Structure 1
Amino acid sequence: MTYLLRVVLPDRPGTLGAVASALGVEGADILSVDVVERHQGQAVDDLVVDLPNARPPDVLITAAESVRDVVVESVRPFFGPLDTARELELVESVAAAPERGIDLLVDAVPRIFRSAWALVVEASTGDVWSDGGTRVRRVAASSAAPETEAQTLPWLPLVKATVLDPSAGQSVPSAWTDLDTELAAAPLGRSDRALVVGRPGGPGFRPSELARLSHLAGIVATMTG
């Protein structure tokens, strides 16, 4: 079974190697490592780890955290491909077929950000409900995106990439938050259109991931006009 393990560890030589050794003792094999961010002496890494089916995923947490000052932020099954140049491949695909740019974006974003789904929503300017809320339409969605569509999204227009937190008043359809889904959104070319990404079971989106999401959405919006 393959898992995605997000670890927070001291950003010093040898620490990741010690984690790899500890995981190896439990029979786990690291397939890939992505550096999510580095800040103030700490690193956040995503490890794709293969574990024998007879071993429970809890051993990954115990093994990694046996290394001093290492914390496992989340562990969840991983079924995606091991892409190494995901953003570049998306940009090349959009350049070849800009008329399909938004569809290509929502299909690629789940792989790029190791999430389950992505969709693009847009506020219908001047089109309001009787209660004054602005109507929202779905522009595009990945295959695994929730079928439930939003009627209104109070946080649109959106000025910058952000984590969506329904408990803080950033309401979304309940289907979007099933399975403890973490949500992030970024403007797509203009403030009334947004790219939304869902990651069931976490981990939460970090500032560096929001920056990448915003940058990628901006590139695709520019290329598609």
Structure 2
Amino acid sequence: MPFLLRVSLPDVPGSLGRLASAIGQAGGDIEAIEIVEKSGNGTAVDDVLLEMAPSAMPDSIVSACNALDGVEVLWISRYAAGGNLFLDLEVVEELTAHPSEALDRVIDLLPITFRVDWAVRVGSDGTIGRRTDAGPTELDWVELERPSRLPDDGETLFCGAPLGNDLIVLGRRGGPEFLDSELARLGHLLGLAGSINRA
């Protein structure tokens, strides 16, 4: 089964190569890498999709990565969404293929795009609209002007963003924290979904 590793590393030439070597020596085979965020302090946050050798353990991957100078594993977990990472451009391509369904289809695509467990659309009257299979059937509506982190429940981390008069909520069980770059991407994708739907 694939694992998803979120790691912070120096944003300098050679860092990714050293990380890949350490993962390989610990029994991991990298399937895909996505840069999630580049900060102004010389670090980057990457999501690494990897397969584990039968004898390898996630702890060995974490130890090998953390042993590198300037590298910190932020999170590792099984990744059941399939064998690849789904990029924002692929979401836009899916939405433009069927513009009249863009507002529903974007909800379906958010979990795999943001590596979250579920996505739900909540009306301003508290009614649940489109939701993915694991999404809750009851959620409180919160007025938001921009994508934001929402209070967690001790087990699941939440973020939300406005879509017209509705609220889109994402849930990520166990982590990692939602990054500012993820919130910005969420806002852009929802804005594009609205524009595509109106076109």
TM-score, normalized by length of structure 1?
0.81
Deviation at 1:163, TM superposition (A): 0.7
* Larger CA Rg, structure 1 vs 2: 1
Structure 2: which 5+ runs fail to align? none
Corresponding residue for residue 209 of structure 1: 182
Q: Distance in 2 between matches of 1:122 and 1:53?
A: 46
Number of aligned positions between the proteins: 197
TM-score, normalized by length of structure 2?
0.91
Structure 1: which 5+ runs fail to align? 125-135, 167-176
Corresponding residue for residue 149 of structure 1: 138
The secondary structure found in structure 1 opposite 2:176 is: coil
User: Any residues of structure 2 matched to 1:69-218 within 5 Å, and which?
Assistant: 69-83=70-84, 86-124=87-125, 136-146=126-136, 148-150=137-139, 152-153=140-141, 156-166=142-152, 177=153, 180-188=155-163, 190=164, 192-218=165-191
Q: Distance in 2 between matches of 1:61 and 1:184?
A: 26
What is the identity percentage for the equivalent residue pairs of Structure 1 and Structure 2?
36
Q: Is the 8 A contact 2:2 2:83 kept in 1?
A: no
Deviation at 1:85, TM superposition (A): 5.9
Corresponding residue for residue 6 of structure 1: 6
Q: Distance in 1 between matches of 2:93 and 2:13?
A: 35
CA displacement, residues 161-184 of structure 1 (integer Å, 9 cap, x when unaligned): 001114xxxxxxxxxx47x22211
After superposition, the CA RMSD in angstroms is 1.7
Q: Distance in 1 between matches of 2:166 and 2:71?
A: 39
The secondary structure found in structure 1 opposite 2:171 is: strand
**For residues 194 and 31 of structure 1, do their structure 2 counterparts lie closer, same or farther at Cα, with a shift above 3 Å needed?**
same
Deviation at 1:92, TM superposition (A): 3.0
Q: Distance in 1 between matches of 2:101 and 2:82?
A: 22
Q: Distance in 2 between matches of 1:207 and 1:83?
A: 23
Instruction: Kindly provide the amino acid, as one letter, of the partner of residue 115 in structure 1.
Output: V
